[in-house]
Structure 1
Amino acid sequence: MKKLLLFIGMFLISSPAFAQKSSSSIPAKPKLVVGIVVDQMRYDFLFRFWDLYSDGGFKRLVNDGFLCQDARYNYFLTTTGPGHSTIYTGATPSIHGIVDNIWYDRLSKKEIYCASDSGTFTTGLEIQTQSMSPYLLRSSTMTDELKLASKQSRVIGIALKDRAAIMPAGHMADGAYWYDAKTGKWITSTWYKKSLPDWLSDYNRRDGTNQYLNQTWGLLLQRDRYKQCTGDSVIYEDPLSNETLPIFPHHLGKHDYSILPFTPFANTMTKDIAINAIKSEQLGKQNATDFLCISFSSTDLIGHKFGPNSLETEDCYLRLDRDLQDLFKFLDSYVGLNNVLIFLTADHGVAINPQFAEDNKLEGGLVQSDQWKDSINNYISNFYGRGSWVSDVTVQQVYLDYDFIAESKKSCEEIAVKVKEYLLNKKEVLCVTVPEYPILNDCSDYVEQLIMNGYQHGRSGDILFSVSPGWVDWTSMKGSSHGTIYSYDNHVPLIFYGWKVPHGSSAASVVISDIAPTVSNWLNIAFPSGCTGKPITDIRLK
């Protein structure tokens, strides 16, 4: 009998149902999900700067988390608005509708911004102006679905760029906050709040941004340790607006609010705002899962300005690595990383500078397709008379002028044929797709599928084309850009870490639209309304 009682006692002590829950135990669901997007982070950046990373930032994620080695975007155009939307909706632009950062609107006959909303106004500035919202996002997000599943759950989005805070936070968020480069203040819109929370109002009131200004951006480490970049003074870089040469050190003045985002200090500011939000909103401290969406935007702005092979880009990633280390240390002490699910990815990659490519005997060059409108109209005029045959040309897209074509008693197909002729006469154009007239398509099945995954009728152009590998559709030969179908633009990091995520890696092909259903599946919530991705099954939770 004594042995039986001893056995029962030992069972009650050791059984999970009766054991006292230790601080290190893992909950059934994470108390906090932290989604991190590093704007313009190409996959190879994860290992290109590996030797100079700290142990607590990117290395911590890779060494202790699960790395998806072949995560890609399966559409064009690979830009910020579509990227953030795809991560959080689990859909491609063909469904969620954010086909680019801007597109031509046929009703207003002008280009519109992906987060614009004439029905909302800024919150946080003395003068209210028309502001931003997720109004144009046509799918729910996994953050929306979390709010629908649990009224207690709180969702907050934070980024320098408005679209990078809004699209992840979704339609139902408790807050989405972004940086106003004119005033140095952090703001939101009336879509979310009619007044800022006290913690953010206090930050703006004491001019919190000034602590990141009036300083010098010098190298984090000794110059001879930077091995993965070009020299400091090279022709591939564009100087900051307050400089004449793009060389270190870069100096910031007291009110250089618009220059700050082009330095790593803005990433540090974003990290600090995120930590402030976690503490002030008590994220991860309740009996429901909260969600914080963070996007680090300065990596993109620095990449555009100086290019991916620059000394500035390398230093920016080393500093971001230290910012991540600080964030993870805070999460560990405040919530406990066993209680936090983290994923890190990017919204797109980046091409090498076109002049750098030429100097290294690589194929490529500069494309400025947004300046082709007049030349396309002139080309068509040689056949059908002068007129406005084309309404607009944006990056790799041509919009026909339906009204003028109808008035001229021509068909859109006839005009599309001529546009195609014009485009294919350019060596920088790989192929052309005309969704309304499939007979005119000359792209391979693979390329056409990527294009069509990024196409939505009514928002996308009538004629879409892919540039050839190495060609960069950008404003100048300085810096670089993105937006193509190629691996340097669509292959990005994807790492899951914390909570029940095991250490491991997989080279299996994954699309970025798989992130939302994966996280949704782990949270036991519905997939976003437009979701086409699938849960990643290679990650077997503990």
Structure 2
Amino acid sequence: MPLVKLKTLTTALAAALCVAGAGAGFAQDSAAPAQKVTAATAPPKLIVMIAVDQFSADLFAEYRSHFTGGLARLASGVVFPSGYQAHGATETCPGHSTILTGNHPAHTGIIANNYFDLSAAREDKRLYCAEDETVPGTSSKQYAASVNHLLVPTLGDLMKARAPKAQVVSVAGKDRAAIMMGGRKADELMWLAPTGLTSFRGTTLSPVATQASAAIAAAIAAPQPGLALPADCAGHDIAIPVGGGRTVGTGRLARDGGDFRRFMASPEADGAVLAAAAALRQARKLGEGSTTDLLIVGLSATDYVGHGFGTGGSEMCLQMLALDRELGDFFARLDQAGIDYAVALTADHGGHDLPERNRQNAWPAAARVDAAIDPDAVAKAVAEKLGLPQPLLYSDGPFGDMYLSKALTPAQRKAAMAELIARFRAFPQVEAVVTGEEFASRPISKQAPDTWSLLDKLRASYNAERSGDFIVVLKPRVTPIADTSRGYVATHGSVWDYDRRVPMLFWRKGLSGFEQPNAVMTVDILPTLASLIGLPVDAGKIDGRCLDLLSGPESSCR
């Protein structure tokens, strides 16, 4: 395939959808004179919440000087470079559940992408975080999407409870991103699918969403040539062997027509979501009414690129520069509407580069997980040794929550726990094994998240009704993917700061920019935005605190 210049799909799809706005550009409106935002300034008419999946603080720092579009605009605002998804289970669903609830996963109930409920009525005891397992004929793989597992309200839920005319729209690449940020009362909530856009079972998409879905489906059906490599990416263009004769690091994100998996792992996916969000904003006139509206945007391509190619090659460089351009185009369209809007951007978690590249970059101990740390194999050996019924243990992989069978007697349970924990602790790649009992009386830390102990991190993800009997933690720089033949070469999910640290950026026209280097948390976003729009929030029901967005003696926290 011939290489093509990097351009925004937001522009192409927005044109097809007749969404107003010029081409991508940072300076179009942001450079115009604006009245300085003070404590007395009226609330913005629109809040735009953007979550970039797997956009680590490390990636932001690495590419910050190269941004010229939307991310450059946000970096000119209020910047918290050391934001934290403070909890230990740094996966997509838990991370998104913190952003607009103000609560850690221990309180949102979203402890992992998948967890186990051994009392579930269906045969499949694994539960997907955003499903309704009571729907007949479903499983954790073929599920009915639902918000049922989220235990707390979102910002949109609170806004609509106060002002029913307030509009809330949530659109994302992944269902769990749209659902965990959108909550229960969103007017429209949707995510990408091979057919374009989709939503909950039984939901009919609005006319503009249907039009956007058709345009996205057409884009998926068309092949995508490889992208030309900008000069800024030349230093990243290095082939790294990952086994089986395969290399990563020199890709150009090309794909065949109809390849949805590759579509999701390219800037096209983010462009599609942003174009749909712009179309929905225009059609619903978000930000043009008497109340403040909320537009939620979940961008997933960075995560798929990170999983498929790692965070250090030409693929991620292309994705970062494209993300910057797509956001620039999106903001230009909001500017064209002439509305007063405020933007917050963060991530659901960070990310860990592949060990083969990490070993070349000052981390000689980086490795893939030993295949021997297979919970099923370990549990089978323990069951045979102790004469216990199988299956003995339920898990979603070589780390995280582990659930003992409910068929055990108390004596069998005690013996199985002791043997299993001893075996996991004996593996050289295992950092720690922690039991649920160790969290029984441990409060969630109120200290700065960069000072948290391993137990503090795990406690913020621990929910007594949903978490496992014990939790396995791998050592730093151990990638829990032993086999790369299925496509994924890198991941996240650990308690270590490369997975916990994310940027938190706030921008509004007239808001004086500054940078606050101290550690803050994504649970602080809800109270910060609530204060910005004058929405009362019960501090006793959230884990976060309001962050001051004003640089002078006044405070934006009310």
Match of 2:207 among 198, 201, 222: 198
Aligned to 2:431: 430
Per-residue Cα deviation, 1:21-46 (whole angstroms, up to 9, x for no partner): x9968751110000011110111222
Match of 1:102 among 107, 114, 125: 114
Secondary structure (helix, strand or coil) at the match of 2:529 reads: helix
Secondary structure (helix, strand or coil) at the match of 1:284 reads: coil
Secondary structure (helix, strand or coil) at the match of 1:235 reads: strand
The 5 A counterparts of 1:324-335 are: 324-335=327-338
Structure-1 separation of matches of 2:548 and 2:229 = 40
Aligned to 2:156: 143
The 5 A counterparts of 1:94-133 are: 94-108=106-120, 110-118=125-133, 131-133=144-146
Distance of aligned partners of 1:255 and 1:216 in 2 relative to their CA distance in 1, 3 Å threshold: closer
Secondary structure (helix, strand or coil) at the match of 1:95 reads: helix
Q: What amino acid does structure 2 have at the position aligned with 1:458?
A: E
The 5 A counterparts of 1:244-263 are: 248-263=251-266
Distance of aligned partners of 1:69 and 1:398 in 2 relative to their CA distance in 1, 3 Å threshold: closer
Aligned to 2:347: 346
Distance of aligned partners of 1:369 and 1:484 in 2 relative to their CA distance in 1, 3 Å threshold: farther
Contact 1:81–1:163 (8 Å) recurs in 2: yes
Q: What amino acid does structure 2 have at the position aligned with 1:399?
A: M
Aligned to 2:12: none
Match of 1:311 among 311, 314, 318: 314
Structure-1 separation of matches of 2:249 and 2:424 = 35
- 1:267 deviates by 1.1
Task: Please say if 1:512 is aligned against 2:519.
Answer: no
Secondary structure (helix, strand or coil) at the match of 2:51 reads: strand
Structure-1 separation of matches of 2:127 and 2:56 = 28
Structure-2 separation of matches of 1:83 and 1:237 = 31
Aligned to 1:82: 94
Aligned to 1:13: none
The 5 A counterparts of 1:457-476 are: 457-474=464-481, 476=483
Structure-2 separation of matches of 1:357 and 1:401 = 35
Structure-2 separation of matches of 1:237 and 1:523 = 52
- 1:318 deviates by 0.4
Contact 2:83–2:520 (8 Å) recurs in 1: yes
Aligned to 1:235: 241
Contact 1:39–1:300 (8 Å) recurs in 2: yes
Per-residue Cα deviation, 1:72-92 (whole angstroms, up to 9, x for no partner): 121111011001100111111
The 5 A counterparts of 1:390-429 are: 390-395=392-397, 396-406=399-409, 410-429=411-430
Distance of aligned partners of 1:219 and 1:438 in 2 relative to their CA distance in 1, 3 Å threshold: closer
Q: What amino acid does structure 2 have at the position aligned with 1:466?
A: V
Aligned to 2:11: none
- 1:405 deviates by 1.8
Distance of aligned partners of 1:245 and 1:431 in 2 relative to their CA distance in 1, 3 Å threshold: closer
Structure-1 separation of matches of 2:243 and 2:182 = 34
Contact 1:238–1:306 (8 Å) recurs in 2: no
Structure-2 separation of matches of 1:179 and 1:431 = 38
Greater CA drift, 522-531 or 280-289: 522-531
Larger Rg: 1
Distance of aligned partners of 1:527 and 1:474 in 2 relative to their CA distance in 1, 3 Å threshold: farther
TM-score (norm: length of structure 1): 0.84
Distance of aligned partners of 1:69 and 1:248 in 2 relative to their CA distance in 1, 3 Å threshold: closer
The 5 A counterparts of 1:141-540 are: 141-181=154-194, 184-190=195-201, 194-204=203-213, 206-211=214-219, 213-222=221-230, 224-231=231-238, 233-236=239-242, 248-336=251-339, 339-360=340-361, 361-367=363-369, 372-381=374-383, 383-388=385-390, 390-395=392-397, 396-406=399-409, 410-436=411-437, 446-474=453-481, 476-477=483-484, 479-499=489-509, 501-527=511-537, 530-537=541-548, 539-540=550-551
Structure-2 separation of matches of 1:290 and 1:92 = 25
Aligned length: 495
RMSD: 3.0
Aligned to 1:3: none
Greater CA drift, 99-108 or 382-391: 382-391
- 1:112 deviates by 1.1
Contact 1:215–1:253 (8 Å) recurs in 2: yes
- 1:312 deviates by 0.5
Distance of aligned partners of 1:40 and 1:208 in 2 relative to their CA distance in 1, 3 Å threshold: closer
Match of 1:91 among 78, 86, 103: 103
Match of 2:64 among 47, 50, 55: 50
Structure-2 separation of matches of 1:248 and 1:470 = 24
Contact 1:154–1:291 (8 Å) recurs in 2: yes
Per-residue Cα deviation, 1:289-315 (whole angstroms, up to 9, x for no partner): 000110110110011000101211110
- 1:398 deviates by 4.6
Distance of aligned partners of 1:149 and 1:503 in 2 relative to their CA distance in 1, 3 Å threshold: same
Aligned to 1:29: 43
Structure-2 separation of matches of 1:417 and 1:142 = 43
- 1:464 deviates by 0.6
Structure-1 separation of matches of 2:460 and 2:476 = 19
Unmatched 5+ stretches in structure 1:
1-21, 122-128
Contact 2:56–2:349 (8 Å) recurs in 1: yes
TM-score (norm: length of structure 2): 0.82
Greater CA drift, 310-319 or 101-110: 101-110
- 1:357 deviates by 2.5
Structure-2 separation of matches of 1:307 and 1:399 = 27
Per-residue Cα deviation, 1:52-99 (whole angstroms, up to 9, x for no partner): 322x32111112x00012211211110110011001111111110001
Distance of aligned partners of 1:77 and 1:370 in 2 relative to their CA distance in 1, 3 Å threshold: farther
- 1:283 deviates by 0.6
Distance of aligned partners of 1:432 and 1:366 in 2 relative to their CA distance in 1, 3 Å threshold: same
Contact 1:517–1:535 (8 Å) recurs in 2: yes
Aligned to 2:73: 60
Q: What amino acid does structure 1 have at the position aligned with 2:131?
A: S
Distance of aligned partners of 1:498 and 1:398 in 2 relative to their CA distance in 1, 3 Å threshold: closer
Per-residue Cα deviation, 1:298-341 (whole angstroms, up to 9, x for no partner): 110011000101211110110110001101111112134xx111
Greater CA drift, 81-90 or 392-401: 392-401
Q: What amino acid does structure 2 have at the position aligned with 1:392?
A: Y
